[in-house]
A and B are shown apart, each in its own frame.
Chain A
């Protein structure tokens, strides 16, 4: 055996350095010496921290970020950012809120100062709030046109019914119409605490300088609930196997998302579950190819023309996850399509081949490594991993974790999380021929004679 404890490996990427400030803010960066950079705040806050009453606040707040601060009007901010050739962006998910800037590396101090200003000193003016209500309501209409988004919202609302993970990110329109300045201020006080934030950066970023900037612009921020140093307790969100159908016979296709409860970010089983995902794969009719693919489900769907597209997914949260598949088909084929998908799930529990597993490991590694190109994807990876794992996993370790999975690990997680479990199923469109829940549930195991 090799002396693994002493072995070292050369990596052709710079190190990710991490520093924690006295107030709990974590600063993490990778310096590649480029003339441009991405820097941003990753905040452990999102719709999961909301209730039925204030659902939509996190997202509303994100919308207000570029609408002016105590130091800059909206126009000042826009002119300043445009004149320095920078970009500002923000997004909200169920568990994370992100604000980031792309700029020349030499402008890093200005970029950090702007981020600090929009997070800490946002005006939240009444007039702007009113205007933004309209914008968000329109955004909502746009999302409602996107059946994939709708079906994933349905999936969350049924799988996590009665819990905050079942809420949507935008919130219901009643809430969007009534959220006021005080709601936003309260939300910031509750959740935008330095101990729940990561200042991440990638590109031409000197870590020590970044730490100094963080101290200068974020160092004085203290948790508003600093009397209570205990970290915020995340309420568990229970998964419920269940079914939600929105029948609409005017739509040409039926969209289905079907998932079982997987595991959270940190759980070691997430790696074999991701490999299982990769084996099931992704396919789209417009890719024309497929009839000869090594992947059995793709081959079958392509040859028999059972669906328009399918995509396996593994959506992760802190302490739970949705492992499943999204597929689009029509009324004539949806029945067979669902059965084929479930057959494939069952096959993975019992008849997996070495070839499939090693192929999936390879593709997974490739896809992950290929994504880390450019300062923004690298910065996103740093920010997300810092929030999810409390560290950035070194690439050789990640590669090792993936390549060490073997066929029995994949079978084991399939048996544990998929076999004979109650899935959550959400659908929209002409759903008449979709097998009913008892049938779907009965296909989650096989009887061998």
Chain B
């Protein structure tokens, strides 16, 4: 071809474009005879995203060695009855012009792929085979173990505290149960994960009534037909009559503290990083079907925060409280961020801060004070800004097809119906100052969850933190030591 790219190809077919009016937000859902749910939504683009979501995650692993679902994630797309090995899967997906991956979280495991929308049928066959017919031979199990060992090693080495802090604050908030169970396999029990335990886990949880087939950018009837043909009809590679052990417990918020004393090796990082200690203080929030869920989401936006050196222009939440009251005022604070973790039976709202280990006490102090201030109510302008930013974040995230896929799939899996973005925006609009004060009071009446990582010798006592959070000013008691230290 010798035509420059600036000149249209003469023999190129004339495109007939889609009209914007044809884009709708209608989510369709069907239930198949065997209990499998199929849901879909239309969307522009040459691609569709389709996947199988399973109500199985680390929260269901109380009777198993930790990290079963993480381990299964590593064995996913590594070989199944139709595909000899990972390369065979990769080549097959490439032929469909797409990509695939598997991700497990505390409550859900998702096998998903994005492919050219004409290739839906072969894709469904591949997905069903990957979920129901994993090979799980010695080779694959060994490779997964190696890759997890490498991952755990990296996790330990990397200065990024995020994955570990999320683990620790969940452990502190929901000690020994459900979402408080570790997501990552533990080095000590990793060897206990073998074919037998993996198959027992699959037998117990990979059931049609715990599964949703979700598709974005597909025709609903076609998806239903293909789900019947490939997913429902597929028999599993594990035997159905072995022992089963499934956990149906409801999340129990406990509060409490978890400290991990650790020295970060900073020589590996490219950008020089100061030595930091990290602390997260959490309080009980609500499940995502609760009427107070949306006020908590607004509260999260209102607190905002981030890193003290974060890039980007206006719009990154520079007037959120953790920026205005914490990062802009206390330059020794390296980062301060609010998080809301919510599940279908409980939740945790937390503020995480990072500072030099010698300032860990002051770091806790500014966090407890920010918590306490919430009961004073918030300014109308501030509230409106947080609501508007939450709405825009929601809608902007939902521009991307994989995000829509996950949103639709997770909502249907958890509640059987999907709240549309429009409904959620209306709910956000309705949040008032009273709602914020109410959820803040409710939250502050719970026992705190405290997680700390790094050189944590200066972390205040748990009782002091608990005490500070019951005071209207959120102040830690004065530290008086006659003999130093």
**Residues of A with Cβ closer than 8 Å to B?**
4-5, 7-15, 31-36, 65-66, 77-79, 81-90, 102-104, 142, 145-147, 203-204, 265-268, 270-271, 286, 288-289, 292-294, 359, 362-363, 365-366, 369-370, 372-376, 388-391, 393-397, 400-401, 404-405, 409
Contact = CB atoms under 8 A, between A and B. Distances in A.
Contact of A391 (B6, B16, B147, B317): B6
Interface residues of B, number: 68
B44 interface: yes
B166 to A, nearest CB: 20
B313 interface: yes
Contact of A104 (B16, B99, B312, B392): B392
B424 to A, nearest CB: 12
A145 B272 contact: yes
A405 B2 CA distance: 11
Given A87-B313, A89-B313, A294 B1 contact: no
Among A85, A268, A288, find the residue whose CB has the most chain B CB atoms closer than 10 A.
Answer: A85
Interface string B43-78: 011110000000000000000000000000000000
A36 B313 contact: no
7 contacts: A13-B46, A33-B20, A36-B396, A103-B392, A366-B98, A374-B400, A401-B5
B18 A370 contact: no
A331 B118 CA distance: 49
A400 B5 contact: no
B87 A294 contact: yes
Contacts of A147: 270
A369 B47 contact: yes
B18 A12 contact: yes
A13 B8 contact: no
A36 B146 contact: no
B302 to A, nearest CB: 12
A145 B399 contact: no
Nearest to A270: B5
Contacts of B44: 12-14, 32
A396 B15 contact: yes
Nearest to A147: B270
A366 B94 contact: yes
A405 to B, nearest CB: 8
A82 B392 contact: no
Interface in B299-349: 312-319
Given A7-B14, A370-B99, A36 B392 contact: yes
A3 to B, nearest CB: 10
Nearest to B85: A292
A282 to B, nearest CB: 14
Given A145-B270, A391-B6, A395-B46, A14 B388 contact: no
Given A12-B217, A146-B270, 6 more contacts: A8-B16, A12-B18, A14-B17, A103-B392, A288-B147, A400-B9
B391 interface: yes
A388 B46 CA distance: 24
A203 B13 contact: no
Given A88-B314, A292-B86, A268 B2 contact: yes
Given A13-B18, A36-B396, A85 B391 contact: yes
B307 to A, nearest CB: 13
Interface in B379-396: 381, 384-385, 388-389, 391-393, 395-396
B3 interface: yes
A11 B86 CA distance: 32
Given A266-B4, A292-B86, A82 B15 contact: no
Nearest to B217: A12
Contact of B15 (A9, A83, A90, A289): A9
Nearest to B146: A288
A79 B16 CA distance: 43
Interface in B104-146: 114, 116-117, 146
B95 interface: yes
Given A11-B15, A83-B388, A391 B94 contact: no
Contact of B6 (A87, A90, A389, A405): A389
Among B99, B114, B314, B384, find the residue whose CB has the most chain A CB atoms closer than 10 A.
Answer: B314
Among B6, B13, B97, B400, find the residue whose CB has the most chain A CB atoms closer than 10 A.
Answer: B13
A370 B10 CA distance: 26
B18 A78 contact: no
B86 A289 contact: yes
B11 interface: yes
Given A85-B389, A142-B271, A268-B3, A14 B20 contact: yes
A83 B392 contact: no
Contacts of A87: 312-316
B482 interface: no
A62 to B, nearest CB: 10
A78 B99 CA distance: 39
A102 B396 contact: yes
B401 interface: yes
